[in-house]
Amino acid sequence: MATPITEIADLKRLYKRRVPKMFYDYCESGSWTEQTFRDNTSDFDLIRLRQRVAVDMANRSTAGQMIGEDVAMPVALAPVGMTGMQHADGEILAAQAAEEFGVPFCLSTMSICSIEAVAAATTKPFWFQLYVMKDYDFLENVIERARKAGCTAMILTLDLQILGQRHKDIKNGLSAPPKPTLKNIVNLSTKVGWGLEMLQTKHRSFGNIIGHAKGVGDVSSLSSWTAEQFDPRLDWAKVKKIRDMWGGKLILKGIMDPDDARAALDVGADAIIVSNHGGRQLDGAISSIRALPEIVNAVGGQTEIHLDSGIRSGQDVLKALAMGATGTYIGRAFVYGLGAKGKQGVTDALTVIHKELDTTMALCGRNDVKDVNRDILLTDDAFYRYRGNW
Ligand SMILES: Cc1cc2nc3c(=O)[nH]c(=O)nc-3n(C[C@H](O)[C@H](O)[C@H](O)COP(=O)(O)O)c2cc1C
């Protein structure tokens, strides 16, 4: 009998066994020294919770809203590029699992399954994440496609005008399309289950780009296009332009500073995501949970504040909510599940996190996630003072 899944780490172990090393490494890395990648998880461990007793816990609720949409718990699936390489049809399976669980799914610009393919396989609207590319025709076109597919929000990612370097991706020959090293080809050949499923799907390259960007008709022309497409000139004026092109709900992702949070307010963001891209961009940035309190103090109550980077448990979700986030996202935690067990694995990841969130909230003496606040935290003052007095 299979060992039961009781925590996200169980899914990670299965994931590591099942998926080719180059895609495991792609997920499980941060940029340069990986300091920020490590801090994202270890800083959650510095926060302690206040145990309360003799509170009636019979009727509990983790339900809430993110940007006005009902959610079973305030935990969305973050946009993750190449999810369809972690498991055949990965974006479709993750979107279906999210839909059934009642949480939002966000599709990356750099997904394998296209906007249209995900829309055709789901019944509820999903969110679309946009990277700003230099090719404005592509940009206009992809925004229109997201609108046509019924996407109810656009997450505009602001922290990737230039790519952070992840050593393993270069060493593994991870590119678009992949150019695996001999060692990786040998490794690929041992991942039989993964490979057989990949052979059965037609979704094996960047579905939002191939056939939609000028000069990119097949995978061979994709590599040079993506390498030079992220727009280094992205500034707040362009953010406004894109906001107007889209016209719908806008979530700005990658905000780590109170000044940027205020700027996001000025452009009318419906929500911001306090995020350092899971430690994949600026190595040396503080963890997002450490950045959160000051941002809440600056713009809390004026826009929704979401958080990602480092969440591996329901306790982490609860800590973020207690510090003032109104929503959270999981990236790697759902990818582990997907790589390990496909759609069921994503459901398992959500189930684990939901149970942990619900039980932990109850043991802190709260019945409803909407009532959770800093009162349930026992945290050293130093946690909030990363800037010092200089
Ligand atoms: C493998 C991988 C690919 C990612 N691709 C994207 C992407 O295409 N667009 C984006 O905005 N963020 C991307 N991210 C960042 C996630 O949206 C999210 O910010 C991050 O995963 C949160 O940290 P966590 O993995 O510790 O939960 C990616 C993250 C990972 C791990």
CB of 27 shorter than 6 A to ligand 1: yes
Region 315-339: mean pLDDT is 98
Region 14-38: mean pLDDT is 97
- Give the three-class secondary structure for 254: strand
Residue 390, pLDDT > 60, answer no
Ligand 1 center to 56 CA (angstroms): 38
CB of 26 shorter than 6 A to ligand 1: yes
- Give the three-class secondary structure for 252: strand
Angle, CA 328 vertex, CA 334 and CA 106 arms, to 5°: 55
Ligand 1 center to 329 CA (angstroms): 10
Q: How far is the C-alpha of 340 from the C-alpha of 282, rounded, in Å? A: 29
Residue 381, pLDDT > 90, answer no
Region 103-114: mean pLDDT is 97
Give the chain's mean pLDDT.
94
C-alpha 198 chain-centroid distance: 23
Residue 302, pLDDT > 90, answer yes
Highest CATH level, class, for 8-43+60-362: alpha beta
Q: Which residue matches tokens 């789901």?
A: 122
Region 44-53: mean pLDDT is 96
CB of 19 shorter than 6 A to ligand 1: no
Nearest to 237 by CA among 216, 263, 198, 271: 263
Ligand 1, from 80, 276, 311: best to mutate by most atoms within 8 Å of Cβ?
Answer: 80
Annotated catalytic residue: which of 212, 277, 306, 354?
277
CA distances (Å), origin 108, targets 73, 152, 247: 21, 14, 19
Q: How far is the C-alpha of 65 from the C-alpha of 74, rounded, in Å? A: 7
| Beta carbons of 77 and 106 less than 8 angstroms apart | yes
Ligand 1 center to 78 CA (angstroms): 6
CB of 30 shorter than 6 A to ligand 1: no
Q: How far is the C-alpha of 76 from the C-alpha of 184, rounded, in Å? A: 32
Q: What residues form DSSP beta bridges with 230?
A: 133
In this prediction, residue 386 carries a pLDDT of 72
Nearest to 110 by CA among 132, 126, 125: 132
Q: How many CB atoms lie within 10 A of CB 8?
A: 24
Over pLDDT 90: what percentage of the chain?
A: 86
Confidence of residue 179 (pLDDT cuts 50, 70, 90): confident
Q: Which residue's CA lies nearest to atom 13 of ligand 1?
A: 80
Token pair in block for residue 284 = 């040396």
Q: Which residue's CA lies nearest to atom 31 of ligand 1?
A: 27
Ligand 1 center to 95 CA (angstroms): 15
Per-residue pLDDT tens over the stretch 63-82: 999 999 999 999 999 999 99
Binding-site residue set for glyoxylate = 26, 131, 166, 277, 280
Nearest to 194 by CA among 56, 314, 38, 15: 15
Token pair in block for residue 128 = 């679309």
Binding-site residue set = 26, 79-81, 108, 129, 131, 157, 166, 253, 275, 277, 280, 308-312, 331-332
Ligand 1 center to 227 CA (angstroms): 18
CB of 339 shorter than 6 A to ligand 1: no
Q: What is the length of the chain?
A: 390
DSSP assignment of 66-111 equals ETTEEESSSEEEPP-TTHHHHSTTHHHHHHHHHHHHT--BEE-TT-
Question: Both ends of the chain: CA-CA distance in Å?
Answer: 59
Nearest to 225 by CA among 106, 109, 85: 109
Q: Establish whether 354 is a catalytic residue.
A: no
Helix residue ranges, H only, the chain:
8-18, 21-27, 35-45, 83-86, 90-101, 115-121, 136-148, 167-172, 182-189, 192-199, 219-229, 236-246, 258-266, 288-299, 314-322, 332-341, 343-363
Per-residue pLDDT tens over the stretch 350-377: 999 999 999 999 999 999 999 999 999 9
Q: Which is the closest atom of ligand 1 to the Cα of 308?
A: 22
CB of 129 shorter than 6 A to ligand 1: yes
Confidence of residue 388 (pLDDT cuts 50, 70, 90): low
Residue 389, pLDDT > 60, answer no
Q: How far is the C-alpha of 344 from the C-alpha of 262, rounded, in Å? A: 40
Q: Which is the closest atom of ligand 1 to the Cα of 155?
A: 11
CB of 62 shorter than 6 A to ligand 1: no
Region 314-322: mean pLDDT is 98
Q: Which residue's CA lies nearest to atom 6 of ligand 1?
A: 80
Q: How many CB atoms lie within 10 A of CB 357?
A: 25
Confidence of residue 177 (pLDDT cuts 50, 70, 90): low
